[in-house]
Amino acid sequence: MAKFVSEKIKMKSAARLAAVQATYMAAYSQLPVDEVIREFLNGEVGRFVIEDNPDNGNEEFREVEPLDKAYFEKLVRGVHANKEELEKSLDRFLNSGRSLERLDGTLQALLLCAVYEIAHTLDVDVKVLIQEYVDMAYAFFAKGEPKMVNALLDQIAREIRGA
């Protein structure tokens, strides 16, 4: 039973990562969201990640964990359908002088997915969601972005969920 639960958690984490990638792809490729989703679900896109091999210092391709396809599609479609509302919400919380459109595209996609999930996936503990997206930010960024993601999502979660 514990192995089954662990596999489900891994599949949801993989769905979140793929949703961030698909959200980015839909925003910057000009492809229709249905086509982006189909390409991810068919394995045409997003099957591999590039990681540094600590043993030899080389970059290597690694196949990603299987993802929860239904959850992935729910996230991507939810972000797409609510994008304007999510962007306005994020802009309200960003420090003065910052706007969502001026942030890195990957960071925008990550924040859009995170805020959508905080607002619309109430059956998942908000602390778990924030940690997942902060960990993802550390995978993409090495500077202050993960700390900003943590502070921003914590602030948004307090307002949306009262957590």
| Interatomic CA distance for residues 33 and 94, integer angstroms | 27
Three-state secondary structure of the chain: CHHHHHHHHHHHHHHHHHHHHHHHHHHHHCCCHHHHHHHHHCCCCCCEEEEECCCCCCEEEEECCCCCHHHHHHHHHHHHHCHHHHHHHHHHHCCCCCCHHHCCHHHHHHHHHHHHHHHHCCCCCHHHHHHHHHHHHHHHCCCCHHHHHHHHHHHHHHHHHCC
Q: What is the block-wise mean pLDDT of the chain (163 residues), using blocks of 10 residues?
A: 74 94 93 93 71 78 78 97 93 78 92 97 93 94 91 94 76
pTM exceeds 0.85 for this model: yes
Task: Please tell me the CATH superfamily of domain 2-161, with its number.
Answer: NusB-like (1.10.940.10)
Q: What is the pLDDT of residue 51?
A: 66
Q: What is the pLDDT of residue 95?
A: 74
| Interatomic CA distance for residues 97 and 156, integer angstroms | 18
Q: What is the pLDDT of residue 97?
A: 66
Structure-derived torsion over alpha carbons of residues 138, 24, 161, 147, reported in degrees to the nearest 10: 20
Task: Name the token pair of 32.
Answer: 């229709």
Q: What is the pLDDT of residue 79?
A: 97
CB atoms within 10 A of CB 142: 9
Which residues pair with residue 48 across a beta bridge? 63
Q: So where are the chain's domains?
A: 2-161
